[in-house]
Amino acid sequence: MNTRRNFVALGTATLFTALTPRKGFTDDLVEETIQVSPEDTIGLIHPELHGQFAEHLGSCIYGGLWVGPASPIPNVNGFRKQAVEALRALGVPVLRWPGGCFADDYHWRDGIGPSERRPKTVNLHWGAYVEDNSFGTHEFVDLCRLIGAQPYIAGNVGTGSPREMRDWLEYCNYPAGSTLSDERLQNGAPDPFKVKYWGIGNELWGCGGNLSGDEYAERYRNFTTFLPKLGDTQPFYIACGPSKDNADWTQSYFAGLKSKRLPDGYTMHFYSNSKAVATRFTEEDMNAQFATFPHLEEAILHQRGLIDRFDPQKKVGLMVDEWGVWDKMVPEEEKAHGRLWQEITMRAGVSTALGLNVFHRQADKLVMCNVAQMVNVLDAMLLTEGDKCVRTPAYYAFELAKPHRGKTAVRATPQANPLALSTSASIKDTSLVVTVVNPKLGPFIRLRCHVPGSKVRRANANSLFHADLNACNTFNAPDTVVPHEISASTRGETITIELPPLSVTTIEAELAV
């Protein structure tokens, strides 16, 4: 191993003008090369692979995103202003709502009409507390419009009926003239909501009703019979897939469809669980959580293969509409902030980036992925308390992945990879984007990114890193873990950067034509 001092003394180093801040790190430096092959294309990175999920759970909606128009907390029509600004800046492509488990006990009519007349209902799954339904379908669509996201509604199969879901679809999408569409107009929305994505229940193998795959297939056939295209929006039906890589569920569901219409989307859920409390991870805990991401990638490949047996033309889009880190909850924290609240640390930011890299690498097999969840729950982008709101390391992992959207994923391979670097790369015209996740606490890495056959005209790099794996953005120190621009030098077909330990780095390069 070269130390940084030896390395410079050897006189082989490119001169870095803005060396990565080294406070808290050792001087060690090792070398690694990755090769990016612009001609070796994988598939389009649909922006929807960077989707999100917001459930009526803990303080995700109430108190998090939604504070109400009368709140002293700065808000836009009742939506927390800081959250709207942060999410709009991130450009959330699609937002799934209202659950999760909550979806299969949600009745949409409870959330329309004058707020003061809406019923008070008990949230069965997440603590049996009472919700006033001040956040309903109109508020959800308004939020999507404010942040620029496409709405994705998860319908109620568990305690709902085909009629209830078909009425919800008509209320949202029928242009005008029917009683339901006119009711939408009376409630302040003359234009149809044009909701494209419709989930046919959630986790039907568990909280959605404890069904078997073939029982669910029967429900699926029945519900979708009554959900036609209304107005000019063709619905995209999303069927509930397995938890992780459960093959039995997938086989029995697809067999149970009995050759009737295949779903447009089929969604698996894959959480990266840990037995450790978010802020008290050891290196071992961290490595154990990171080790779940290869399983996620294997599960995507395996599930895709299972679906293809029933769908040789690959018309069904595979999705992962719940994913992210799920650490050990602390009861006192859940009491203070709501169910499934956990701190999001540097380590969680790296986990999130490992997931995003998997999705980019498997871009040809996936049409949508939604991180769980947007605010104050699990792998949250934002954490709030009173009038305060911070962007988490997970938010910044998404920000660093943003330049990949709409580009074509291409293969990128670390050469020896003893350091277990995770990479993803994409290209559009002459713009190349490479994200490298260094999951190790070890030394800095002098990383050469080689692009054979392409001269690199210029490159810049931004990196999220911190010497402490448990570091996080607190309300008093909200910028503890934020991306920094780091130096990137180019020579011929090679970009060179210094990759910090435990980091997420995105290089944006311009190739010569």
Instruction: List, by residue number, the catalytic residues.
Output: 203, 322
Q: At 184, which helix (H) or strand (E)?
A: helix 179-186
By the 8 A CB rule, do 494 and 448 touch? yes
Residue with tokens 């050990």: 328
Residue with tokens 């519900």: 223
Closest Cα partner for 435 from 410, 416, 417?
Answer: 410
Among 51, 64, 98, 100, binds ligand AHR (CB under 6 A): 100
Closest separation in Å from C-beta 266 to ligand AHR:
15
Q: Rounded to 5 degrees, what are φ and ψ at 51?
A: -75, 170
C-alpha–C-alpha distance, residues 307 and 231, integer Å: 31
| Residue 255, burial from CB neighbour count under 10 angstroms (0-12, 13-18, 19+) | middle
Cis, bond preceding 242 (omega within 30 deg of 0): no
Nearer to ligand AHR, 101 or 147 (CB): 101
Q: Which of residues 29-68 bind ligand AHR (CB under 6 A)?
A: 55
By the 8 A CB rule, do 20 and 500 touch? yes
Closest separation in Å from C-beta 61 to ligand AHR:
13
Long-range contacts formed by 301-304: CB under 8 A, 24+ apart: 301/362, 301/365, 302/245, 302/247, 303/241, 303/242, 303/245, 303/250, 303/266, 303/268, 304/365
Token pair for residue 241?
Answer: 């897939």
Nearer to ligand AHR, 230 or 378 (CB): 378
Interface stretch with ligand AHR, choices 79-87, 98-106, 226-234, 284-292 (CB under 6 A): 98-106
Interface stretch with ligand AHR, choices 1-9, 69-77, 99-107, 394-402 (CB under 6 A): 99-107
Contacts of 429 (CB under 8 A, 6+ apart): none
Position closest to ligand AHR via CB: 100
- For residue 339, give the 3-state DSSP assignment: coil
Nearer to ligand AHR, 99 or 213 (CB): 99
Q: Which of residues 335-374 bind ligand AHR (CB under 6 A)?
A: 372-373
C-alpha–C-alpha distance, residues 268 and 71, integer Å: 37
Site string for ligand AHR, 205-224 (x = CB under 6 A): --------------------
Nearer to ligand AHR, 202 or 289 (CB): 202
Position 320 contacts ligand AHR (CB under 6 A): no
Position 399 contacts ligand AHR (CB under 6 A): no
Nearer to ligand AHR, 16 or 271 (CB): 271
Among 101, 204, 286, 354, binds ligand AHR (CB under 6 A): 101
Nearer to ligand AHR, 223 or 326 (CB): 326
Nearer to ligand AHR, 124 or 419 (CB): 124
The strand pair at 75-76 and 431-438 is best described as unpaired
Position 99 contacts ligand AHR (CB under 6 A): yes
> What letter represents residue 22's amino acid?
R
Nearer to ligand AHR, 297 or 322 (CB): 322
Q: How many residues bind ligand AHR (CB under 6 A)?
A: 10
Residue with tokens 């990114």: 449
CA 281 to chain centre: 22
Closest separation in Å from C-beta 102 to ligand AHR:
6
What pairs with residue 268 in β-bridges?
Answer: 320
24: left (phi over 0), alpha (psi -120 to 50) or beta: left
What pairs with residue 431 in β-bridges?
Answer: 428, 510
Token pair for residue 497?
Answer: 């950067």
Position 322 contacts ligand AHR (CB under 6 A): yes
Closest separation in Å from C-beta 341 to ligand AHR:
12
What pairs with residue 509 in β-bridges?
Answer: 432, 459
Position 394 contacts ligand AHR (CB under 6 A): no
Closest separation in Å from C-beta 219 to ligand AHR:
17
By the 8 A CB rule, do 41 and 420 touch? no
C-alpha–C-alpha distance, residues 68 and 56, integer Å: 15
> What letter represents residue 195's amino acid?
V
Q: Which of residues 185-204 bind ligand AHR (CB under 6 A)?
A: 202-203
Closest separation in Å from C-beta 483 to ligand AHR:
26
Site string for ligand AHR, 148-187 (x = CB under 6 A): ----------------------------------------
Closest Cα partner for 349 from 445, 460, 483, 447?
Answer: 483
Nearer to ligand AHR, 240 or 316 (CB): 240
Closest separation in Å from C-beta 194 to ligand AHR:
25
Interface stretch with ligand AHR, choices 96-104, 168-176, 188-196, 251-259 (CB under 6 A): 96-104
Closest separation in Å from C-beta 105 to ligand AHR:
11
Closest separation in Å from C-beta 99 to ligand AHR:
5
Under the rule (CB under 6 A), what is the footprint of ligand AHR?
A: 55, 99-101, 202-203, 322, 372-373, 378
